[in-house]
Chains A and B, each alone.
Chain A
Amino acid sequence: MPDALLLLTLVGLPFLGAIAAGLLPTHARNAAAWLAGVIALVGLGLLLAAYPTVAAGGVLRHEVAWMPSLGLNFSLRMDGFAWLFAGMVSGVGVLVIVYARYYMSADDPVPRFFAFLLAFMGSMTGVVIAGNLIQLAFFWELTSLFSFLLIGYWHHLAAARDGARMALTITATGGLCLFAGVLVLGHIVGSYDLDAVLASGETIRAHSLYLPALVLILLGALTKSAQFPFHFWLPHAMAAPTPVSAYLHSATLVKAGVFLMARLWPVMAGTEAWFWIVGTAGIVTLLIGAYIAIFQHDLKGLLAYSTISHLGLITLLLGLNSSLAMVAAIFHIINHATFKASLFMAAGIIDHETGTRDIRRLSGLNRFMPFTARLAMVAAAAMAGVPLLNGFLSKEMFFAEALSAEGPLPLLLDILPVAATVASAFSVAYSLRFIHGTFFGPDPVDLPLTPHEPPTWMRFPVEILVLTCIIVGLLPAATVGPFLDMAAHAALGAATPDYSLAVWHGFNLPLLMSVIALIAGVSLYLLLQRHLIKGVEGAPLIGGLQGQRMFERSMVFLSWRLARTLEGLFGTRRLQPQLRLVVSVAVVAAGWTVYLRGLGPGNLAPAGIDPVLALIWVIGAACALGAATQAKYHRLVALILLGGTGLVTCVTFVWFSAPDLALTQLLVEVVTTILLLLGLRWLPKRLDVPGARPPEVITATRRLRDLGIAITAGVGMAGLAFGVMTRFPPEILAEHFLERAYTEGGGTNVVNVILVDFRGFDTLGEIAVLGAVALTAYALLRRFRPAPDSVDIPEQQRDQSAYDISRPGRREGDTVADWLLIPSVIARLLFPVICLVAVYLLLRGHDLPGGGFAAGLTASIAMILQYMLGGTQWVEARLRVLPLRWMGLGLLLATGTGLAAWAFGYPFLTSYFTYVELPLIGSFPMASALAFDIGVFALVVGATMLMLIALARQSVRGHRAAAPRPSEEPPAPTTAPAATAMGDD
């Protein structure tokens, strides 16, 4: 089988299986179990097929280019070390799946469980056979995610949700640190490829970034492997179904951390920093975990702390910077997986058959389930390190290493053997507690279920694992020897030390330590009997040291208090502070850039001042300032002044050779003014009461500050504009368009050619925006409800009616009927003329100022003029404008012109042009861009008319006022304006 297929199947098949299992019906328990089991067995089979290669020291590789520009490949790589871990993942996986089939209740959605389990299996395999570091970090985070889903599988239980969340928070945060660390490491090495990294140990250790990389990577590894002070998530993860605990917390998830440390051991270990961080974390975790485990009343809780402690042992071994210790660590990883998985399963069987895991309630189960009891005893003995079992062997190696370790501080090394012995004694004590408390003593009373032996196949995985413990314990060299040797050589390479895997090494110091530990452990358990029977929760002396509480406090702080504080400091629902911030940031950013780059004189000499233009701009500036001061109390005045500024802008465009802009600006000015005029009707009255009290101090200060911002922005903008105008860049885009406008676009009006041809796609987008805006305005106005104080007929209309009624011989409405009679007659006469102008502007747009926009606006003005002078009803009785059709037509025409180019094999919106002779009119440019421009024209007409008519109709519509909000009184029209008039900035 080729390497590529083998490796890809190994990683990919579990994920495919997960999807398949997820698609099974909710209660297809057997089908899901078979599926999962077969996939795990296939994985195991693949590993067997790969064994000859890796056993010979070979490495299976598969690489696919992933991001070649970054030199990053998707790469899978399996050497002996990865093989060993993949074997544990698949092997224990098979056993856990068999066990889970019988453990899980038929009421649970079991296919989902197996889907998560398979996905987790795939992720874990991905971690161990990842060929580059980025990929490793990716699969690493996947394991966090799927372990979250597995721990929270019973999501109706609060404990499961909390445990899952805690596990995810801790391990995924660690994963992020790992990712950062991996990036630093990749930076140091210059490649993320694992082979490259493993080959550059010297470079890494000597690099100035070694320490940051180390700390970040270790944060990832230590959180994953539940090392102190991050250990607390693991006991909470015990809310998971027991098969999950048996899988995740014995052979896989928590082993990922030590796997990573072992994987990078050859390149990152060997320094004092490594010794201090890893070694300290290991020894503290070893002792604390073992100590707390003794006092757990929950079987799984005991096993959880024991797992923490054993992981501490492995970490400590890795931290000792000795290759022999590294071999011992690998060996203990295997042994721990076997005995801990079987113990978790045994605990699950007890829970399943009795209904409780509380040691205080369990007792004398030996008589009810003798076979399970034997199995658990053997496994617990292996955990305690009793001779002739596998746990003993690796513990002996650990003792030997503890005695011979070399390190920077002799004193520490003196206490190392003592600590090892103490921890081992603790481990004897809690193993004893597990067995003695559960299986011995009087018959249990008041159990939820009557205990009995589990189904044969539920016990089968435990039997296999316990058998492994015994065989490895008796014949280590013949059984586990080759695998260990292969893994050690793959991990350490040429540096692999000689070691001996014998059961009997003669009478030596480690054996003495074992004996002491055994005796001390038994004595400790007997001494603690009285305390344990009291059933007090938590371990004495260090009960206050609760990582969980710290975690919860920090979570509350981060997700609630800090967030609220920050929101209080920086958040606001008020618009003014936000805009103030936006403007200030813009001003500061612009100023900062100028400060950094400097602003010398430009390369153009400013032209002399023309007095006429100066005068025009005096008017323009006065209008702008006037609008700024009058916009509050005198809206109409402000609007007129705004129009004045617009006209000055328009004149400026003409002055500086931009007739197209001037034309469009003028037309837009007209339409905008009409729109705003129509809006004025619905705004509240606000009266400037002369002699009213001056604004409050706060308001005055605020205004002063805003004035400061405004002046700064104005001065800055003036400076910027002057700077830009006195500079001329060496190369500009204009030449390109000027040269090609006629020769390639077929028009002499360059601006128009740019709009409809060169940048036609932008214009298409722009008219689409215009259409969307018009539709939005239309939709908003359909549901328009005026404020209560604006519902009534305006004052002026009331006065007119009163006048009409009071005069004899006049009927109500006569004044309005005669209103601007002569102008309206002129406007009617002008209507066709203006329309003709619009068509003229449209047709000549390609060659002379004009074009679709200008023509569309002109046509709308022609129509709105009729509305204004004739009244809505009069116009609509005679002229039906269907704005939506205009818009639709316009958009279709514009897009259609673009699409038509495809029919001729050209890219979208390619234009074609020629000149046609028309009788009377003469030669006339006929470009396909004209069709596009007609589309623009139609859309502009439609959009403008849609908005204007929708707004104008509000005045003739009968209105229901919006219901006043319950919290406040509707302001009375006569008194409210004065009340809200003053000082409300």
Chain B
Amino acid sequence: MELILALGIGVLTGSGVWLLLRPRTFQVIVGLSLLSYAVNLFIFSTGGLRTGAAPVLERGAVGHLATHADPVPQALVLTAIVISFATTALFLVVLLAARGLTGTDHVDGREKDR
């Protein structure tokens, strides 16, 4: 299990970083999204991979790690998902504004001169 997820995170990171270093803004935005999946999964995985652990308490009861999933990484990731949505949206709009203003979708706002 751990191995699969670790490999998955690795592939997502690699693809994300590759795209992050590309010259077109759309590539970068896709790269950032992939990278944020990888990071979210990584943070999530710090709580340990638990199949079948209860995420919700019994009413009136006290939870324990033995039976329940670790809520802290989950809370962190929930925040991270929303924030990465916000950054993606912001970056998209900046990208569009820059594309309108400069006429190109190169990350530097101009085609590379050779």
Contact = CB atoms under 8 A, between A and B. Distances in A.
Interface residues of A, number: 125
A734 B11 contact: no
Given A672-B88, A675-B92, A742-B60, A576 B23 contact: yes
Interface stretch (A316-324, A417-425, A601-609, A901-909): A601-609
Contacts of A625: 11, 15
Contacts, number: 346
B30 A638 contact: yes
Interface string B42-53: 101111111111
A580 B37 CA distance: 20
Contacts of A790: 99-100
Nearest to A767: B82
Given A621-B11, A642-B33, A787 B100 contact: yes
A980 B54 CA distance: 54
A735 B65 contact: yes
Contact of A621 (B7, B53, B65, B94): B7
Contact of B101 (A679, A728, A947, A962): A962
A584 to B, nearest CB: 10
A684 B105 CA distance: 7
Interface residues of B, number: 96
Q: Give the residue among B16, B17, B95, B107 with the most A Cβ atoms within 10 A.
A: B17
A639 B30 CA distance: 8
Nearest to A711: B14
Nearest to A741: B57
A608 B49 CA distance: 12
Contacts of B23: 576, 984-985
A606 B3 contact: yes
Q: Give the residue among B21, B45, B63 with the most A Cβ atoms within 10 A.
A: B21
B29 A646 contact: no
Contacts of B42: 717, 720-721, 724
B15 A710 contact: yes
Nearest to A854: B78
A628 B79 contact: no
A733 B75 CA distance: 12
A617 B7 contact: yes
Contacts of A940: 82
A750 interface: yes
A257 B32 CA distance: 58
Contacts of A645: 12, 34, 37
B45 to A, nearest CB: 5
Contacts of B61: 742
Contacts of A711: 14
A751 B75 contact: yes
A658 B81 CA distance: 13
Q: Is the interface of A mostly helix, strand, loop or mixed?
A: helix
A260 B59 CA distance: 75
A709 interface: yes
Contact of B1 (A607, A635, A781, A786): A607
Interface stretch (A159-167, A232-240, A538-546, A755-763): A755-763
A951 interface: yes
Interface stretch (A7-15, A223-231, A647-655): A647-655
Nearest to A729: B46
A356 interface: no
A754 B57 CA distance: 13
Interface string A708-727: 01110111011111101110
Contact of B64 (A726, A735, A781): A735
Q: Give the residue among A656, A676, A766 with the most B Cβ atoms within 10 A.
A: A656
Nearest to A663: B78
Interface stretch (A335-343, A501-509, A963-971): A963-971
Contacts of A660: 55, 74, 78
Contacts of B2: 606-607, 722, 725-726
Given A614-B4, A628-B19, A766 B82 contact: yes
A614 B99 CA distance: 40
Contacts of A652: 5, 8, 41
B83 A769 contact: yes
Interface stretch (A243-251, A559-567, A772-780, A814-822): A772-780
A574 B44 CA distance: 34
A732 B72 contact: yes
A682 B25 CA distance: 12
Interface string B77-106: 111011101111110111111011111111
A579 interface: yes
A648 B1 CA distance: 15
Contacts of A684: 99, 104-105
A784 interface: yes
Contact of A718 (B7, B48, B62, B97): B7
Interface in A132-169: none
Contacts of A743: 62
Contact of A738 (B37, B59, B68, B108): B68
Contacts of A726: 2
A975 interface: no
A827 B25 CA distance: 33
Contact of A631 (B10, B30, B44, B53): B30
A777 B49 CA distance: 37
Q: Give the residue among A613, A717, A739 with the most B Cβ atoms within 10 A.
A: A717
Contact of B71 (A580, A642, A734, A848): A734
Interface in A55-107: none
A849 interface: yes
A707 interface: yes
A710 to B, nearest CB: 4
B56 to A, nearest CB: 5
B70 A734 contact: yes
Q: Give the residue among A707, A725, A773 with the most B Cβ atoms within 10 A.
A: A725
B114 to A, nearest CB: 9
Contacts of A635: 26
B94 to A, nearest CB: 7
Nearest to B45: A725
A665 interface: yes
Given A631-B30, A684-B104, A776 B21 contact: no
Q: Give the residue among B6, B38, B78 with the most A Cβ atoms within 10 A.
A: B78
A739 B63 contact: yes
Nearest to B53: A657
Contacts of A638: 26, 30
Contacts of B111: 980, 984
A785 B94 CA distance: 12
A810 interface: no
A659 interface: yes
A788 B79 contact: no
A749 interface: yes
B64 A657 contact: no
A736 B23 CA distance: 46
A608 B2 CA distance: 8
Interface in A578-633: 579-580, 583, 604, 606-610, 613-614, 617, 620-621, 624-625, 627-628, 631-632
Contacts of A968: 103
B17 A583 contact: yes
11 contacts: A606-B2, A617-B7, A624-B15, A642-B34, A645-B37, A656-B69, A714-B10, A722-B3, A754-B71, A777-B90, A968-B103
- What 7 pairs across the A-B complex have the smallest Cβ distances? A714-B14, A718-B10, A738-B63, A710-B18, A722-B6, A750-B71, A628-B15
Given A645-B34, A676-B92, 4 more contacts: A710-B21, A724-B42, A741-B63, A755-B79
Interface of A: 573-576, 579-580, 583, 604, 606-610, 613-614, 617, 620-621, 624-625, 627-628, 631-632, 635, 638-639, 642, 645-646, 648-649, 652-653, 655-661, 664-665, 668, 671-672, 675-676, 679-680, 682-684, 686, 706-707, 709-711, 713-715, 717-722, 724-726, 728, 732-735, 737-739, 741-743, 748-751, 754-755, 759, 762-763, 766, 769-770, 773-774, 776-777, 780-781, 783-790, 847-849, 853, 940, 943, 947, 951, 962, 964-965, 968, 970-971, 980, 984-985
